[in-house]
Amino acid sequence: MASSSRSTGKRLPISCQACRTRKIRCSRDGRPCQTCIRRGLGAEDCVYLGQPRLLTEQSSPADQTVQNELIARIRNLEGLLQKQVSSQASTPVAGATSPQAPSASGSFSEPDLDPWGSPMLGNVGTLQTSPSGHVRYVPIASQWESVVSKGPAAECLRSSEADIADDDDLQIPLARNGIVSHAELLALLPPSRYCDSLKEVYFRVFSPVFHILHDLTFEAEYQQFYHDPISVSKSWLALLFAILAIAVSALDDDDTLLSDLGRERTVSRNIKVLSARYRSAALRCLAADSVMTRHSINSLQALILISYARLHRSLPFWTLLGFTHHVAISMGCHIDPERFLLGPIEREERRRAWTGLAMLYTIQNTSFGSLDQQMISQDVKMPIDVDDVELLTGSGIPTNDLTSSPSAARPTQMTYLLLSSRLYKISTRISENIFTSPHSRFSTPQLESELFAVREICDARYSSGDALPTHHQANLNILHSQIHQLFLLLLRPRLARFLQGEITPETCASRAKCMASAKASLGVFQNMLESPQFASYKWYTSGLGSFHAFHAAVVLAVGLLNPESPTEFEESKEILAKALDLFASLSVRSVFCSKAVPVVRQIIDVASTQYAQIQQQQQQQQQAAVTQGQLQQTQPQMFSTLPPSMSSVTIPDTYVHSHSQSHSPVPTVSSSASDPTMHSSFGVHLHPQNWLGPTSVPWDTLGASVGQYGFESDVM
């Protein structure tokens, strides 16, 4: 009984349960208490077990107002959803499935906002900027301060941007591991002269290719950093490190900067180590800036550039890209910045960041075999096609039309990014056309016309009378290489039908187009690699450019096995031999090229051997026909008495496979086991899924597909 008496008389706690769990002092001044407010907790987390009166608060008129407003908003959302369903149901199927067609001027119109979305224009949330410069997008449904401004939760909402405890587990995977000072982060930078050099390389080479920054703004901030390094934010330092990580890949092989900063024995190892070092430093800066919970435009730009750097190093970045995507959404970048009260530069920075993110997402999504692009599809307009200085002076007309911009007669800093973005959108449709045929929404002629239209825009924009700067010439070459790559993918099914023996005007035309695109692609590759003005673009020729060239070489080799004439064979063989030399020259710097060299060499040897055997076979057939004709003329009576089975000279079946057997438009020679021939599995590796990106090439089996069984194109 005594025990029971003590149990019933136990003193209840007077501190809230949250403070008791954390074993910290509770102010005990309400629900939520000031301690919980400082920690970012709300009234639902601040529970007093010993004070029942704080557990069940009486309903007040303010609570009823909250409920009424919530009900009204829910009804509003239901109405908008109903309008969306109705509009989709009333839309014709043909209109829903037709792609964006090029206009008469050769440009494409960007998708307009859905009509049902127009009522939401006034219902956009707001951007909250903290004193430290971090930006957070607050949706309208989350803006409770106007509703509960007189309640105890208002203070909790206003203090949500307070500093977060060091042990916050939201920093995973970008863990801070304690407080990192500015001095520690600055110590990771290279010496000032090297930092200056790498920055200049980035803005000379990479910024015109992936123009998501406003160069003049960054330059002004860099000058501020140069005079007062402590004055810049940690997110800006992360952006600087990301720029350095990208810039090192554009240095020449004999650049002393590589040997001064790196300690590796080879150029490729130095570039790899330095790039990884600066990417890691950028992530450390972002972790120190609490990027998991607060963000700025600099932190978003840094994340995008880190993903871009990993893309060109053929490193996985799918998870990082997903995180970057959600950071952009948390900042409201998925909503067009015109809906916010922002200046022209900040608006364009957001659009450029979102466009760059969408491009990276499309590349990764396609390489993973996914055709769904809805996750990144939003109502954000494309960036304006103007130079950075025009944004600064306000002289640029707000437009993203590549043919009606104020600089339509010449390329701007944004032209390449806009054209490349269009090509990646077309590449998604091409993938759908190839992998979902015959149920694809897009036809081959339709997509072919879109590619031709983009190529016409490229030629028109970059063919000004004045000499183009080097970066514009390089950009045009890269665009042409990308267009040829897409042509080779788009026409692959028709080329396969041609090789299977389906000889029609359509398949013959597709073969001719594939051969032309393959030769042109290798020509671009040679120009980019051998021209001294493009020496800073070895990062491209040893990476994505090598992939495009290798794909073109393999397609050309297929044509080499089925030449239309001896002239075409000799021309194609000469182009492939030159491509082999180019791959070999990059093999020290590029792992991709080192893998491509033996495959291309083997393909040339096999094609030459098989072609020589075919030529020998044809000569023997011609000689036999001539001999037979001469015998018939000199001894006609003898041939008239021979049995029908001996009235003509035949070639043994063990020597030649007929067209009907190999399903090939050109007879295939069955050689001895000692002769190099194409393995029957080689055609399987020409499937489009193996040529979507550098990481999809089947290296392990591609080289082994040269064996002793003969090439069979019907499995292509």
Count of helices and strands (H, E) across the chain? 29, 6
Residues facing residue 127 across a β-bridge: 137
Query: Of 172-186, 197-211, 375-389, 515-529, which gets the smallest average pLDDT?
Result: 172-186
Q: How far apart are the first and last CA of the chain?
A: 89
Task: With a cut of 70, say whether residue 248 has pLDDT above it.
Answer: yes
pLDDT, average across residues 471-491 = 95
Amino acid 369: pLDDT = 66
Domains of the chain, each with CATH number or no CATH: 15-55 (4.10.240), 172-331 (no CATH), 484-628+652-716 (no CATH)
Helix ranges restricted to H, 52-112 = 52-55, 61-90, 93-97
Q: Which one has a higher pLDDT value, 642 or 34?
A: 34
Cis omega (within 30 of 0) for bond into 173: yes
Mean pLDDT of the chain: 76
With 80 as the cut, is the pLDDT of residue 573 above it?
A: yes
pLDDT of 324: 95
User: Which one, of 427, 444, 554, lies nearest residue 494 by Cα?
Assistant: 444
Residue type (1 letter), 205: V
- Residue 476 has a pLDDT of 96
Which band of pLDDT confidence, cut at 50, 70 and 90, is reported for residue 20?
confident
Put simply, whether the predicted model's pTM sits higher than 0.85 gets the answer: no
For residue 145, pLDDT over 70 is answered with: no
Q: Report whether pLDDT(195) > 60.
A: yes
Question: Residue 85 has what pLDDT?
Answer: 62
Alpha carbon of 350 to those of 239, 346, 356: distances in Å?
15, 6, 10
List the one residue out of 274, 268, 275, 272 whose CA is nearest residue 253: 268
Q: Does the structure show a pLDDT above 60 at 668? A: no
pLDDT digits (tens, 9 = 90+) for 332-363: 999 999 998 899 999 999 999 999 999 999 88
Least confident of 185-194, 321-330, 353-362, 386-395: 386-395
Are the CB atoms for 558 and 611 separated by under 8 Å? no
Residue listed under structure tokens 């005007």:
505
- Across 96-110, 575-589, 598-612, the highest mean pLDDT is recorded for 575-589
What is the spatial distance between Cα 112 and Cα 110, in angstroms, rounded to a whole number? 6
Amino acid in the structure at residue 183 = A
Among the listed residues 407, 345, 351, the one whose alpha carbon sits nearest the alpha carbon of residue 379: 351
Q: How far lies 268's CA from each of 248, 261, 378, 542, 556, in Å?
A: 11, 13, 39, 11, 29
Place of tokens 């050109």: 666
Instruction: Determine contact, residues 666/562, Cβ cutoff 8 Å.
Output: yes
State residue 569's pLDDT score: 87
Peptide bond into 32 cis (omega under 30): yes
Amino acid 333: pLDDT: 93
- Structure confidence by residue, pLDDT tens digits, 491-505: 988 888 888 888 899
CB 240 within 8 A of CB 234: no
Helical (H) or strand (E) element with 656: strand 656-657
| Mean pLDDT computed over 466-486 | 93
**What is the C-alpha to C-alpha distance for residues 356 and 350, in angstroms, rounded to an integer?**
10
* Strand 126-129 versus strand 135-138 pairing type: antiparallel
| Cα torsion through 139, 142, 146, 148, rounded to 10 | -170
Section 53-69 average pLDDT: 49
pLDDT at 8: 45
Q: Check residue 376 and give its pLDDT.
A: 66
Asked whether the predicted pLDDT for residue 35 surpasses 60, the reply is yes
Q: What percent of the chain has pLDDT over 70?
A: 68
* Cα gap 500→663, rounded to integer Å: 5
Residue 653 confidence (pLDDT): 38
Residues 674-697 as b/e (b if ≥16 CB within 10 A, e otherwise) read: eebbbbbbbbbbbebebbbbbeeb
pLDDT at position 344, please?
Answer: 93
Of 25-29, 143-147, 214-218, the range with the lowest mean pLDDT is: 143-147
Q: Report the DSSP pairing between strands 656-657 and 135-138.
A: unpaired
Helix (H/G/I), strand (E/B), else coil: 170? helix
Place of tokens 């000799």: 570
- Count of Cβ atoms closer than 10 Å to residue 536 Cβ: 19
Average pLDDT over residues 253-264: 88
Residue 258: both structure tokens together:
């590589």
Q: Tell me the average pLDDT across 312-327.
A: 90
pLDDT the model gives residue 6: 42
